[in-house]
Amino acid sequence: MSLSFTKMHGLGNDFVVIDARQNDPALDTATIRHLCDRRFGIGCDQLVFLTVPTLDGADVHVRFFNPDGSEAGACGNASRCVAKFVGGTPTLQTAAGLLPTARDGDLFMIDMGVPRLDWQDVPLSQACDTLHLPLHDAAACSMGNPHATIFGDASRAEALGADLEQDALFPERANIGFAQILSPTHMRLRVWERGAGLTLACGSGACAAVVNAVRRGRTERTCTVTMDGGDLQITWRADGHVLMTGPAVTVFHGTTA
């Protein structure tokens, strides 16, 4: 099966974007894994699948798939890439809800919605304080996908990420962020993403880290998040919505054999 695709990235977090709005190839798990494979396929952190929206007010329906074939509810970096791919200021229909977008030159802003803070919404496997989990004193929230943020040394991501992603506390696994607070308006962050591993950047992880840092009284509501691939600007507005601003880059277009 021949597929047209576009390779894109947001701060090195890279994606294969397949536009199925005119012709839906109905990809199965095995095909998704193959396309994401960096040795035998195209290679990416996530595959992004675009279809015709089903909700009023949406311009495109977006689904995100991890390299292991599992589906993610949200991806901030991929959402910026979709905004660039579609053009204009589209509203994205995702599993996390409708995500409005805006553009300022080469930067794209995504309204990532309101974080969910209750333990059932993350979700966690047991009732506990999401601001202080019984696991490395992490803080947890959902940005449409489960996140836990551990404050301290960001270099611990490689040593701890894989095991914590699959800890029994997270019935749907979790994205694990390792945040080092540099100032009230600046943090260093590395994220071990569920189903993908350590990536150069994680947009929803940056949003979650700022939300959790603000809840802990560690940062202001607008913060620069520096990741291995570069910087994102995150603002947790007074109305509860989290805004993420950063670049999106088109690398190349191609067709599979």
Task: Give me the active site residues, please.
Answer: 75, 202
Query: Is residue 23 annotated as involved in ligand binding?
Result: no
Query: Is residue 76 annotated as involved in ligand binding?
Result: yes
Query: Is residue 13 annotated as involved in ligand binding?
Result: yes
| Cα 110 to Cα 60: distance, rounded to the nearest angstrom | 14
Helix (H) or strand (E) holding 77: helix 76-86
Query: How many residues belong to the chain?
Result: 257
* Residue 163, number of CB atoms within 10 A of its CB: 10
Query: Is residue 193 annotated as involved in ligand binding?
Result: yes
Query: Is residue 194 annotated as involved in ligand binding?
Result: yes
- Contact between 163 and 135 (Cβ < 8 Å): no
- Contact between 188 and 180 (Cβ < 8 Å): yes
Query: Is residue 145 annotated as involved in ligand binding?
Result: yes
Query: Is residue 204 annotated as involved in ligand binding?
Result: yes
No. of helices (H) and no. of strands (E), the chain: 4, 18
In sequence order, the β-bridge partners of residue 15 are 8, 46
**Phi-psi group of 137: left, alpha or beta (phi > 0 → left; psi -120 to 50 → alpha; rest → beta):** left
DSSP assignments along 106-145, one per residue: TEEEEE----B-STTTTT-SS---TTS-TTTT-EEEESSS
Annotated binding site: 13, 46, 66, 76-77, 145, 175, 193-194, 203-204
Residues marked as binding for substrate? Answer: 13, 46, 66, 76-77, 145, 175, 193-194, 203-204
